[in-house]
């Protein structure tokens, strides 16, 4: 696929909730443009964009895929994004690298809970979008009802550009409301005909509404329209394009990807309405900053003559092929064997081969130029979201802020090979920025955090398939903390004599509580040199080391203040080591006397649910020692804001799914630590201390 000029390029994301028929529609677009020779059956796992075995097994997209087609001398590069709640955050990372979006809805149910979250990402990124109401060949489809629901959900004006044509209940074509022509198929070939006489009045009214909507968003066209001059097709296309770019309203096409109806008209409007990279430069300038100078802005334009710069929108790691970095080139061009700079990490690297992707198929190309989306091999030190650029013309593009993964599990290697599992999970987390993997410093468990239960389970499937590593999931231990409730004064003393030099240190500490989230404070109140200045840091280190393991359950001690106010030393026997030990002895003695208590993490939850489930969810939160902080409307849904102890919501995803029939979503993060009620603390401590 050869690009002659960036004005003849479209870079788009194809976005939809799970079940909207996105993979089937993409297959139809590729077939209609001769990008593939035959259509694959999604149900049989044969579609171009189904590249992962887990996608076939679970019947859903789980990762990003790249593809491309050519229509009317315009090269369209697209990113196929996942639509299941568990994998939505992948879409967020793509949006800075695309110029427009094709957003799918359905004529059957219009939207799902995922729709609102996906649309909010589009809004936050200011991406121009057109919509396509799919699955109108389903007998239960209702376009009018779907449009009403869509507009209410995305809270933005929508406007039909096409109208379905039926023979009885059968969908046989769509009408282009600007040209008032029927687009249908005959033996798989596009056929355009005049609209039926019986629909002329209805379609004329629909067209008048469209013309008025376009005119009222363009001063020149509005003046012309109010003067009684009929707007030409050229006027309407120009006004429509401007309205899409300004995001004044969302145009809606319609049809059925399964039967290819409406697909050719959709192709026309992708080219007609969505911006090219040059237009994106004026609407959403590609702005970064100088490496090491965050406040010094750098702007790049979509010109081959500009210095090379690109954003990595995804990485994949294959045990045999190695790492493949999928990139959007913003400026300049990159060639095989060229030396480039990863400015996000200040690492120079050598480019391997460059490719265009069609699903899992790679086509090697000589270079990737401004405006193109492709892949670069062998950038081992480059990760998703990184900026790569010309070595001598550095720029760093802003990193994408992903939502924190709410669901966490402890991971245990079932063959006791922790190192193999750990290394493989780190690679999978490198591919997927919404997946977090780490070892908890308190519980010493390997923790895998994802966006949902399915996300975690699919990750373990990929772990086994790609890296031959086997692991099982366990409910993670709660990372409790300890603190104190009283202020005490204690002595920490070390005195040893074993012949020759001994060990001597004596320090007096005042240890008291700090407000919650106060951390750790150490104050030197020594006067008169009773402890030499060079030993003060040793006392502090001994105390800090002792905070790592409390006296109740061996959990870290937090929110304490320690003042060193008196002590003694020996000219010969005192040492750094002696004062470290003395500080540790004194602090442990303080914990025994100062009423140590157990603290637990409190989670802030944001739960989006169907309205009819609100009562059950609120009652459930209360049963988990939680409290509801707010209840808001979110389109057709309700949003519950709440707090609850982590110990009560470790497996909340399961329960929420059961209570909402899979329609509820949530995010959570640690907001504070609170004292554990005494009867629960006794049970926690009886179950055993941390290692």
Residues whose CB falls within 8 Å of the CB of residue 498, separated by 6 or more in sequence, listed in order: none
Cα dihedral 376→377→379→384 (10° resolution): 60
* CATH architecture, range 482-594: 2-Layer Sandwich (3.30)
Using an 8 Å Cβ cutoff, are 22 and 136 in contact?
A: no
Asked if residue 415 has pLDDT above 80, the reply is no
User: CA–CA separation, 32 vs 34, rounded Å?
Assistant: 6
Tokens of 400: 């994408």
Using an 8 Å Cβ cutoff, are 116 and 635 in contact?
A: yes
- Enumerate the domain spans of the chain: 9-278, 285-389, 407-474, 482-594, 598-686
User: pLDDT for 225-259, tens place per residue?
Assistant: 899 899 999 999 999 999 999 999 999 999 999 99
Class of domain 9-278: alpha beta
User: pLDDT for 417-475, tens place per residue?
Assistant: 888 999 999 999 988 989 999 998 888 889 999 888 889 999 999 999 999 999 999 88
Class of domain 285-389: mainly beta
Q: What does the pLDDT read at residue 538? A: 97
**Tokens 């941390």 -> residue:** 690
667 vs 104, more confident: 104
pTM of the entire predicted model: 0.82
**Tokens 């005909």 -> residue:** 193
* CATH architecture, range 598-686: 2-Layer Sandwich (3.30)
CATH fold match for the domains 407-474 and 598-686: yes
CA 84 to chain centre: 12
Asked if residue 2 has pLDDT above 60, the reply is no
Q: What does the pLDDT read at residue 74? A: 95
Using an 8 Å Cβ cutoff, are 514 and 521 in contact?
A: yes
Q: Dihedrals φ, ψ of 559, to 5°? A: 60, 55
Using an 8 Å Cβ cutoff, are 43 and 78 in contact?
A: no
Q: What is the mean pLDDT of residues 80-92?
A: 90
Q: Does domain 407-474 have CATH number 3.30.70.860?
A: no
3-state secondary structure 393-431: CCCECCCCCCCCCCEEEEEEECCCCHHHHHHHHHHHHHH
């Amino acid at each position: 696929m050869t690009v002659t000029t960036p004005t003849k390029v479209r870079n788009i994301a194809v976005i939809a909730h799970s079940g909207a028929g996105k993979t089937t529609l993409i297959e139809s677009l590729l077939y209609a443009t001769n990008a593939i020779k035959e259509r694959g059956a999604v149900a049989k796992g044969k579609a171009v964009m189904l590249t992962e075995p887990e996608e076939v097994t679970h019947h859903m997209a789980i990762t990003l895929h790249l593809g491309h087609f050519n229509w009317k001398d315009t090269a369209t590069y697209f990113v196929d994004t996942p639509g299941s709640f568990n994998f939505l955050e992948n879409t967020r990372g793509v949006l800075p690298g695309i110029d427009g979006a094709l957003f799918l809805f359905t004529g059957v149910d219009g939207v799902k809970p995922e729709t609102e979250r996906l649309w909010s990402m589009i809004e936050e990124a200011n991406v121009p979008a057109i919509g396509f109401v799919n699955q109108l060949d389903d007998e239960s489809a209702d376009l009018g009802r779907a449009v009403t629901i869509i507009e209410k959900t995305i809270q933005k004006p929508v406007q039909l550009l096409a109208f379905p044509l039926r023979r009885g209940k059968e969908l046989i074509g769509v009408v282009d409301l600007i040209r008032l022509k029927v687009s249908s198929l005959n033996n798989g070939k596009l056929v355009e005909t005049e609209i039926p006489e019986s629909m002329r009045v209805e379609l004329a009214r629909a067209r008048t509404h469209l013309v008025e909507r376009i005119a009222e968003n363009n001063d020149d066209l509005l003046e012309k329209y109010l003067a009684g001059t009929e707007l030409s097709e050229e006027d309407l296309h120009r006004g429509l394009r401007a309205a899409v770019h300004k995001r004044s309203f969302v145009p809606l096409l319609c049809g059925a990807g399964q039967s290819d109806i409406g697909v050719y008209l959709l192709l026309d409007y992708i080219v007609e309405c969505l911006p090219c990279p040059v237009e994106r430069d004026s609407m959403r300038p590609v702005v970064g900053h100088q490496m090491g100078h965050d406040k010094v802005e750098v702007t790049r334009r979509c010109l081959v003559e500009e210095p090379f710069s690109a954003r990595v929108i995804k990485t994949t790691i294959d045990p045999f092929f190695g790492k493949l970095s999928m990139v959007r080139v913003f400026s300049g061009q990159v060639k095989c064997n060229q030396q480039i700079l990863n400015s996000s990490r200040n690492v120079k690297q050598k480019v391997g081969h460059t490719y265009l992707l069609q699903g899992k198929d790679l086509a090697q190309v000589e270079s990737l130029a401004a405006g193109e989306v492709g892949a670069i091999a062998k950038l081992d030190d480059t990760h998703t979201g990184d900026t790569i650029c010309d070595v001598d013309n550095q720029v760093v593009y802003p990193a994408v802020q992903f939502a924190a993964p709410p669901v966490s599990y402890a991971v245990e290697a079932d063959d006791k090979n922790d190192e193999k599992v750990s290394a493989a999970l780190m690679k999978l987390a490198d591919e997927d920025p919404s997946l977090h993997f780490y070892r908890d410093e308190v519980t010493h468990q390997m923790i895998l955090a994802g966006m949902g239960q399915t996300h975690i389970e699919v990750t373990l499937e990929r772990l086994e398939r790609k890296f031959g590593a086997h692991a099982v999931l366990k409910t993670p231990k709660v990372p409790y903390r300890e603190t104190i409730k009283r202020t005490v004064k204690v002595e920490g003393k070390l005195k040893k004599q074993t012949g020759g030099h001994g060990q001597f240190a004596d320090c007096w500490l005042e240890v008291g509580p700090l407000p919650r989230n106060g951390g750790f404070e150490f104050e030197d109140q020594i006067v008169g040199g009773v402890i030499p200045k060079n030993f003060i840091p040793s006392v502090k280190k001994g105390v800090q080391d002792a905070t790592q393991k409390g006296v109740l359950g061996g959990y870290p001690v937090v929110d304490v203040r320690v003042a060193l106010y008196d002590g003694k030393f020996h000219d010969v026997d005192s040492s750094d080591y002696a004062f470290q030990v003395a500080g540790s002895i004194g602090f442990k003695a303080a914990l025994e006397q100062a009423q140590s208590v157990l603290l637990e993490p409190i989670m802030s939850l944001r739960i989006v649910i169907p309205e009819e489930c609100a009562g059950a969810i609120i009652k459930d939160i209360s049963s988990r020692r939680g409290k509801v902080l707010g209840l808001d409307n979110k389109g057709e849904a309700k949003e519950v804001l709440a707090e609850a102890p982590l110990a009560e919501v470790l497996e909340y995803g399961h329960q929420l799914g059961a209570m909402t029939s899979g329609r509820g979503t949530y995010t959570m993060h640690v907001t504070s630590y609170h004292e554990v009620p005494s009867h629960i603390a006794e049970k926690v401590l009886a179950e055993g201390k941390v290692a």
